Structure 1
Amino acid sequence: MEKLQMGRFKGYSLAHFRKDLLSGLIVGIVAIPLAMSFAIASGVKPEYGIYTTFIAGITISLFGGSKYQIGGPTGAFVPILLGIVLAYGYEDLLLAGLMAGLLLCLMGFFKLGSLIQFIPRPVTIGFTAGIAVIIFTGQIANFLGLTEIEKHENFIANMRELVMHLATINLYNVVIALICLTVILIMPRILPKIPGSLVGIIISTIVAIVFFAGQVPTIGTAYGAIPNTLPQFQLPDITWERIERLIGPAFVIAMLGGIESLLSAVVADGMTKTRHNSNKELVGQGLANIVTPLFGGIPATGAIARTATNIKSGATSPISGVVHGIFVLLVLLLFAPYASHIPLASMAPILMVVAWNMSERHHFMHILKLKSADSLVLIVTFLLTVFTSLTIAVEVGLVLALILFTKQMIDIPTIFKVLPDHSRKNEKMQPYVVNTMHDCPQISIYTMEGPLFFGAAQMFEQTILSTAEPKPNILILRMSKVPFMDTTGEAYFDNIVQEFKGTILVTGLSPRLQSAMKKSGLYDKIGKQYFFEHTGQAIDVALRYLDNTKCIGCQHFAFRECAQLTKGVVQWELPD
């Protein structure tokens, strides 16, 4: 591992460090308001978001599998963490985060990082859009300055709370929120290199202090002063009962953290034309989530927006992520007391903009307009994320996607009865050649395409056994386009071997499929001499198994040899 780590800094120079220093400072400035906002939205104190940013950020950069990944608290975690805090409390959230870190490490050690490619895009877009809705609506109360709002895990219950307390709206709060939102929206057009969220917080805070002192709730009035000291190490109370209670939440944190971090790493690869190590990235994320809770930090993962900012700012190595973490730590130690004056109304627009940007609205609408199976998966995942939980949404979304995919695979015609097309020079096997007047009564040839799995196996058997009328003497199965066969496919193949009263010849079998058939015993049951590399070889052998008396007078002329066979002038010698 040490060799691999050093490889990431090969050829590193002072010029590279200058670029990493600048990009790290820029990302650190972007990360500070987000860290506090995500922590508050997750139901914990803002300083815990700061702790997470510098501890997890440094750890992920040093031990992760992407050179450019920036880790920390993210918006995707907000509804998950808030739900855990409401159901179990902050102390249990720390233990759940630590357990999630262990799970992520195990996922990396067992090389499960590549499994990210098997999560359908409609599922990831669906739950991301659902999370964005939850985050956005969750900030309405702070934006409007509503009081006596009780937070719930259920979306409908939270919306009911907003409606019931609309009369408590604070107009001063709305003014501050609108000022911050306006600055955030116009800054990218005026000064694109300066983080709009930070400028928005500063300007709106100054306005609140000068004109609305004591009229709007602040971080200090809601959570107390932010300490400008290092977090204290504290080992959580680990009991078997707590582990059993929190294994579900820990699994959800690990899965979401793994998905988001690997998606972020893929985005970084696309921007830099590099390639990350997905399993190493999971281990790095795991280590970060093991260490961070020991110092009071909340779960962290790779942050797509901050990683993109890091790359655009000129980062060349993981050093930029380390610089970003150190900068956030220094800001905590030097300026933490001033953060207590930040109005909660200033934090709300930041999260609302984050939610809007992460909503994947363009991709969402594109998939929706397709009106396909993917559209159904998208809608179901989105609605379940909003109205139930992310766990249920992802589980149901994946199962639904699998069912619809299986149905599509079954519906695709993958078995064709074929004969050689004599009008072509290469006499390629084609299904359109077969008809009632042109079909050999003694030899049936079938081309199979696609996996012979549980969804298609029964159709495979029925097609072979039911359409082979009148019953032929020889069955040739062309299997060069069959990538694999599961145990269900194997069982139905075995049924064909037992039910077919004649000789079965198999062509084009891949080494992988041949090995599987040898292990199952099908290879020996059919017979080694009946496996061929090319269909032409199988046809040559099949012609020797014909009942020549049935060929006399036959007018089908399925093969070139039929012209002689129908006259009864050809006699074949059977192969050994």
Structure 2
Amino acid sequence: MFQLLLSRSQSLKSDLLSGLTVALALVPEAVAFAFVAGVEPLVGLYAAFMVGLITAAIGGRPGMISGATGALAVVMVSLVATHGVEYLFATVVLMGVLQVLAGVFRLGKFIRLVPHPVMLGFVNGLAIVIFMAQLQQFQFLDPVTGELAWLQGEQMTLMLGMVALTMAIIYFLPKLTKAIPSSLAAILTIVAISIGLDMDLRTVQDVLVDMTGDPVATIAGGLPQFHFPSVPLNLETLKIIFPYALILAAIGLIESLLTLTLIDEITETRGRGNKECIGQGVANVATGFFGGMGGCAMIGQSMININSGGRGRASGISAALFLLAFILVGSSLIEMIPVAALVGVMFMVVLGTFEWASFRLLGRIPTSDTLVGITVAVVTVLTDLAIAVVVGVLMSTLVFAWKHAKNMHFDIEEKDGVKIYKPTGPLFFASIHHFRDQFDPINDPQEVIVDFARSRVSDHSGIEAIDALAERYMKQGKTLHLRHLSPECIKLLHKARKLIEVNVIEDPKYSIADDELG
């Protein structure tokens, strides 16, 4: 059910005004990402409308804004260039199906495995990416050379001045009143000044012309029409689109779930990751059939929405509907908005998104965590989010494994000719070498006991290490006793199973990361 009945802190007025602000910022972003993907501007705008509307209505995170994104566009460009836009639409449909399956099988929970340093790197990296993306608005297409050149003289001065004024309004207005979102007030103020003083400022129309090369480029269009992708329905098509669909689905879900987690922290509420997976999937399936390029959560627009007071589903729904209204009837008004106002809004998003507190953490947190955060940020800027998160999680996993491998230690004692080993700490793939090196089957007495009361076997590597240890002692003709292993350990052991002393009362019970019992 749509959450349109809002609490006091989630007034419909705030959601509608925030939705309007977001819609204004969505236009140049959607057009830019469509250009990156090599498709028409309306393909990006339709994606922003369809994905934004459906995820806002049925997704798992009220207040989060979704639409066409650069992370997906950079993957799409090679597909469009090689096979054409129809294959893109088919890929987006399959991408949506994969995302729905991810939600059905409850894979959204795995976002909890992303460590905090990776989250810091993700946030800081995306803030840098958003900042760098705005710099192209300070450039124009040189009609002589046909290349992008930086604004000069008065145009650059006016641009910088209007950007600064926009940022000042956004910062100071909330100290006076919160009746209207400061970002919306800033955009309207810059538009009024530009028109009233007849300033020569770059507008959304100028951006469209530079991107398309068409002097009459516009965002005007009709309602998106149902369109079945014109591709052969055979195995060859599946071979072409499936790799792209899988990559796009993964990138889309990673970016969406990380953005969801970030908004959870900011709003101190809890989104539903698996529901968001399904919502994103349904939205992309629909978008593919209505001529859109697909999409996922947009951290920049989501931050604009949250900072403007948008908390409920109505904010995302209204943003999508306002965007559709711009396409149908308001294109001429939107195209006259100075890009300086939109750049100023995005610069404030950058300032609010970047975790400045991470600088204060330098020297106060483990060096490994600092390196993980920096690496994720750099990889996000240089490649894409999915690779950055995977790299960060792998680095964190290896650091965790290395640290815990050193946590295993032994107490060794001898009583009445019996040597007792008492390992303490987790026995898993990283600690098995240390575990193995503690034993001396050749010089040990005839009777040896290994007491696992203070140790936990975590994975199949640990099981194999125990089996190998038993084999070493059997080769020496010595008796090995294994105590306090869990019932699951006993089932998984092969060579050492007969050596276990079972104590129903004292033996621990826990699960092992192993597929053999599945």
Q: Name the stretch that deviates more: 142-151 or 238-247.
A: 142-151
Matched residues, percent identical? 25
Q: CA RMSD in A?
A: 3.9
Higher Rg: 1
Q: What's the counterpart of residue 186 of structure 1?
A: 169
Q: What's the counterpart of residue 518 of structure 1?
A: 491
Match of 1:211 among 154, 174, 198: 198
Counterpart CA distance in 1 for 2:89 and 2:123 is: 24
Paired letter, 2:198 = F
Match of 1:40 among 31, 35, 38: 31
Q: What's the counterpart of residue 185 of structure 2?
A: 199
Counterpart CA distance in 1 for 2:460 and 2:9 is: 58
SS in 1 for 2:453: strand
Q: What's the counterpart of residue 515 of structure 2?
A: none
Paired letter, 2:218 = A
CA contact (8 A) 2:410 2:423 kept: yes
CA pair 398-312 structure 1, distance change in 2 beyond 3 A: closer
Paired letter, 1:218 = D
CA pair 30-343 structure 1, distance change in 2 beyond 3 A: closer
CA contact (8 A) 2:254 2:386 kept: no
CA contact (8 A) 2:92 2:293 kept: yes
Match of 2:51 among 44, 51, 56: 56
Q: Name the stretch that deviates more: 17-26 or 283-292.
A: 17-26
Paired letter, 2:411 = K
When the two structures are superposed, what TM-score results if normalisation uses the length of structure 2?
0.78
CA pair 465-105 structure 1, distance change in 2 beyond 3 A: farther
Q: What's the counterpart of residue 80 of structure 2?
A: 88
C-alpha offsets along residues 64-98 of structure 1, whole Å, 9 cap, x if unaligned?
A: 234x2433237xx3254246337735825544433
Counterpart CA distance in 2 for 1:323 and 1:88 is: 31
For structure 2, list consecutive stretches of 5 or more residues without a partner in the other structure: 508-518
Measured after TM superposition, the shift of residue 283 of structure 1 is: 0.8
SS in 2 for 1:515: helix
Q: What's the counterpart of residue 99 of structure 1?
A: 94
Paired letter, 2:469 = I
Measured after TM superposition, the shift of residue 114 of structure 1 is: 0.9
Written as runs of structure 1 = structure 2, the 5 A alignment for 1:122-133 is 122-133=117-128
Paired letter, 1:81 = A
Counterpart CA distance in 2 for 1:60 and 1:215 is: 32
2:137 aligned with 1:142: yes
Q: What's the counterpart of residue 557 of structure 1?
A: none
Q: What's the counterpart of residue 547 of structure 1?
A: none
CA pair 79-112 structure 1, distance change in 2 beyond 3 A: closer
Written as runs of structure 1 = structure 2, the 5 A alignment for 1:170-569 is 171-191=154-174, 193=178, 194-209=180-195, 210-212=197-199, 218-219=206-207, 221-222=209-210, 224-227=217-220, 229-239=222-232, 243-270=238-265, 275-303=270-298, 318-319=313-314, 321-363=316-358, 366=361, 370=365, 372-412=367-407, 414-418=408-412, 439-440=414-415, 442-465=417-440, 470-471=444-445, 473-482=447-456, 484-500=457-473, 501-510=477-486, 514-521=487-494, 524-527=497-500, 529-531=501-503, 533-534=505-506
Counterpart CA distance in 1 for 2:209 and 2:7 is: 44
SS in 2 for 1:476: strand
CA pair 313-175 structure 1, distance change in 2 beyond 3 A: closer
SS in 2 for 1:495: helix
SS in 2 for 1:451: strand
Counterpart CA distance in 1 for 2:244 and 2:135 is: 26
Paired letter, 1:353 = M
When the two structures are superposed, what TM-score results if normalisation uses the length of structure 1?
0.71
CA contact (8 A) 1:35 1:49 kept: no
For structure 1, list consecutive stretches of 5 or more residues without a partner in the other structure: 152-160, 420-438, 536-576
Paired letter, 1:211 = D
Counterpart CA distance in 2 for 1:128 and 1:272 is: 16
Measured after TM superposition, the shift of residue 470 of structure 1 is: 4.3
SS in 1 for 2:422: strand
C-alpha offsets along residues 232-268 of structure 1, whole Å, 9 cap, x if unaligned?
A: 3323334555654454543343223223332343455
SS in 2 for 1:227: coil
Number of aligned positions between the proteins: 485
Counterpart CA distance in 2 for 1:397 and 1:126 is: 8
CA pair 26-345 structure 1, distance change in 2 beyond 3 A: closer
SS in 1 for 2:426: coil
Written as runs of structure 1 = structure 2, the 5 A alignment for 1:151-166 is 165-166=149-150
